[in-house]
Structure 1
Amino acid sequence: MLTNPQKRFLRKNAHSLHPIFQVGKGGVTPNMIIQIAEALEARELIKVSILQNCEVPKEEVAETISSRSGAELVQVIGRTIILYKESKNKKQIVLP
């Protein structure tokens, strides 16, 4: 579980990132979860964009992705989700 100062630190670092995944009409698929988990292992911090045509509420999409990929949900802002998961092999981010 992340503390508030850690979330603030991660939000600051994620500000310059661009979303690398998009959730659309198909919703969250098992293949998408696998790819997100692999991206989190490589990058530790990612953004996911939720498209307008997604039929599932954004909070539910965020909860589904974070729980299935084992990531921490940092923030849902607008239609963008910020996720963090500490890498086992390529640790880059040192939390305060």
Structure 2
Amino acid sequence: MLTSKQRADLRAQANDLDTTLMVGKGGVTENVLSEAARQLEARELVKGRVLEAALLSAREVCDALCEALGADGVQCVGSKFVIYRRSEKKAQEAARQARELKKRKSNPVRRGAQERRRQAREERERRNEYFRQAAIQAAIERRKSREE
């Protein structure tokens, strides 16, 4: 379910879209559903038009498509409608681009300082483990010398 702010943002994005989905006199058929699903997966936002020969209104077509595809209706004006469904493919692509951007924007000085801190922490841990083992060994030797 979309919030009103999300819907307003999607309506703004839909202004520049070309109408790519046409619904004719056959109504919402399997071909229309499969084409809408393919376009939603590729673009997330699809603008469609109901032709005059169709017996359905744009609102009815929009509702039928949304129910069948699990999409959200964004807008219905006249004979045109806009539907939206989040695409995993697009989300993964956006996440990959964000990671690449983050890598490009990373600060090399900060990265170097973080690396030095990590190395110092590992060195402290190695040193502490050495002294811990030495203390254990000394305690074992003291106990053996007392027993003798």
Q: TM-score, normalised by structure 2?
A: 0.60
> Mapping of 1:1-96 within 5 angstroms?
1-91=1-91
Structure 1 CA distance for aligned equivalents of residues 62 and 84 of structure 2? 12
User: Deviation at 1:59?
Assistant: 1.7
In structure 2, runs of 5+ residues without a counterpart are 95-148
Identity over the aligned pairs, expressed in percent? 38
Structure 2 CA distance for aligned equivalents of residues 33 and 16 of structure 1? 23
Aligned residue type for 2:52: Q
- Residues 17-50 of structure 1 deviation map (CA, whole Å, 9 limit, x = unaligned): 0110111111110121011111101000110111
Query: 1:27·1:55 contact (CA, 8 Å) conserved in 2?
Result: yes
More helix by share: 2
In structure 1, runs of 5+ residues without a counterpart are none
Report the counterpart of residue 140 of structure 2 in structure 1. Answer: none
* Higher normalized contact order (CA 8 Å, seq sep 6+, divided by chain length): 1
SS of alignment partner, residue 2 of structure 1: coil
Aligned residue type for 1:38: R
User: Deviation at 1:58?
Assistant: 2.3
- Bigger radius of gyration, 1 or 2? 2
Aligned residue type for 1:26: G
Taking only aligned residues, the RMSD between alpha carbons, in angstroms, comes to 1.4
